[in-house]
Chains A and B, each alone.
Chain A
Amino acid sequence: MTSHEPIEAEPGATAASPDKSPALPTTPGVDQYHVDPALPAAGQPEHHDQAERQPKHRAPEVEGKRSFARAFREELWADNNFTVTLLAIVLALICGGVLMVVGNAEVRDQWQYLLYQPGKTIGDTWAFVSTAYTDMFKGAVVNPDTVNRWYWNMTTWQQVFYPISETLTNAAPLIFTGLAVAVPFRAGLFNIGGQGQAIMGAIGGGTVGLALSLPAIVQVPLGVLAGALLGGLWGYLVGVLKARTGAHEVILTIMLNNIAFLFLGWFILQQGIKDPNRSDAISKPIQESGKLPQLIPDPLLRANLGIVLAVLAAAGVAWLLKRGRFGFELRAVGHNPHAAATAGIKVGTTIALTMALAGALAGLGGTSVALGTAPALTVDMLGQIGFNGILVALLGRVRPWGVVGAGLLFGALQAGGNAMQTFSGVSVELVGVIQALIVLFVAAPALVKAIYRLRRSPAAAAQAGLAKG
Chain B
Amino acid sequence: MNVELAVPEAYWTRTRKTGAVMIALGLLATIVFGALAGSENARFALGETVDGAGFDIPGTFGAIFFGLVALAAGVAMLVTGRYFGVLTGVALMGFIISALCWQMSVSPVSHTMPLGFIAAATFTAAIPLIFGSLGGVLCERSGVVNVAIEGQLLTGAFFGALFGTLTGNFWLGLVAAAVGGALLSAILAVFAIKYLVDQVVVGIVLNVFAGGLTAFFYEQVMRPDTDAYNFPGKVPSWPIPVLSEIPILGPALFNGNIFSYGSLIAVVVITIALFRTRWGLRTRAVGEHPAAADTVGIRVLGLRYANVLLAGLVAGFGGAYFSMLSTTGFSKYMVSGAGFIALAAMIFGRWHPVGAFFASLFFGFFGALTGFLNSISSPIPSQFLSMLPYLATIFAVAGLVGRVRAPAADGKPYVKG
Q: Which residues of A contact B (CB under 8 A)?
A: 21-26, 99, 102-105, 188, 190, 192, 241, 244-248, 250-252, 254-259, 261-263, 265-266, 337, 347, 384, 387-388, 390-391, 394, 426-427, 429-437, 439-440, 443-444, 446-447, 467-469
Contacts A192-B204, A244-B398 aside, 19 further interface pairs with beta carbons under 8 A come to: A103-B216, A103-B221, A188-B1, A192-B200, A246-B399, A247-B399, A252-B397, A254-B147, A254-B343, A255-B344, A337-B1, A391-B205, A427-B215, A429-B215, A436-B206, A439-B205, A444-B197, A446-B195, A468-B196
Residue of A nearest to B187 (CB): A440
CB nearest to B223 among chain A residues: A427
Task: Decide if A266 touches B212 in the complex (CB within 8 Å).
Answer: no
Q: Are B387 and A251 in contact (CB under 8 A)?
A: no
Answer whether residue B347 sits at the interface, using C-beta atoms and an 8 A cutoff: yes
Among candidates A103, A248, A390, A446, residue contacting B204 with C-beta atoms closer than 8 Å = A390
Question: Is A436 within 8 A of B209, CB to CB?
Answer: yes
Whether B88 sits at the interface, judged by CB under 8 Å, is no
> For the complex, is B358 an interface residue (Cβ under 8 Å from A)?
no
Name which residue of chain B comes closest to A437, CB basis. B209
Chain B interface category by residue count: 35 or more
Q: Is B295 an interface residue (CB 8 A)?
A: no
Given contacts A22-B201, A103-B220, A250-B200, contact A265 B208 (CB under 8 A): no
Contact with A262, one of B1, B198, B218, B387 (Cβ below 8 angstroms)? B387
Please determine whether A443 and B201 come into contact, CB atoms closer than 8 angstroms: yes
Q: Which of B3, B398, B415 contacts A468 (CB 8 A)?
A: B415
Contact B201 A394 (CB under 8 A): yes
Q: Is B362's beta carbon under 8 Å from chain A?
A: no
State the main secondary structure of chain B at its contact with A.
helix
Query: Can you report 18 A-B residue pairs in the complex whose CB atoms are below 8 A from each other?
Result: A23-B196, A103-B221, A246-B399, A250-B200, A251-B397, A252-B394, A252-B398, A255-B390, A255-B394, A258-B340, A262-B384, A266-B384, A388-B208, A390-B204, A434-B212, A435-B208, A440-B209, A443-B191
- Asked if B391 is at the interface of the complex by the 8 Å CB criterion, the answer is yes
A443 to B202, Cβ gap below 8 A? yes
Shortest distance from the beta carbon of A351 to any chain B beta carbon, whole Å? 10
Given A258-B340, A258-B390, A262-B384, also A440-B212 (CB < 8 A): no
Pair A259/B3 contact, Cβ less than 8 Å = no
The 9 closest A-B pairs by CB, nearest first: A432-B212, A103-B220, A427-B219, A436-B209, A444-B195, A266-B383, A433-B212, A429-B215, A23-B198
* Of the residues A23, A102, A247, A258, contact of B413 by C-beta under 8 Å: A23
Cα distance, A450 to B73, chains bound together (Å): 63
A247 to B393, CA, bound (A): 11
Among B5, B204, B216, B400, contact of A387 (Cβ-Cβ < 8 Å): B204
* Chain B positions near chain A (C-beta within 8 angstroms): 1-5, 147, 187, 191, 195-202, 204-209, 211-213, 215-221, 224, 332, 337, 340-341, 343-344, 347, 381, 383-384, 386-387, 390-391, 393-394, 397-400, 406, 413, 415
Q: Are B394 and A247 in contact (CB under 8 A)?
A: yes
Closest B-chain residue to A240, C-beta based? B398
User: From residue B17, how far is it (CB to closest CB) to chain A in Å?
Assistant: 13
Given contacts A23-B413, A258-B340, A429-B219, contact A443 B397 (CB under 8 A): no
Contact A246 B383 (CB under 8 A): no
- Is A436 within 8 A of B391, CB to CB? no
Contacts of B398 in A (CB 8 A): 241, 244-245, 247, 252
B337–A246 CB distance below 8 A: no
Q: How far is the CA of A21 from the CA of B196 in the complex (A)?
A: 8
> A240 CB to closest chain B CB, in angstroms?
10
Q: How far does the alpha carbon of A190 sit from the alpha carbon of B203 in the complex, in Å? A: 13
Given known contacts A255-B393, A263-B383, A429-B332, is B198 in contact with A246 (CB within 8 Å)?
no
Nearest A residue to B195 by beta-carbon distance? A444
Shortest beta-carbon distance from B382 to chain A in Å: 8
| Closest residue on chain B to residue A433 by CB atoms | B212
Contacts of B347 in A (CB 8 A): 251
Residues of A within 8 A of B341 (CB): 258
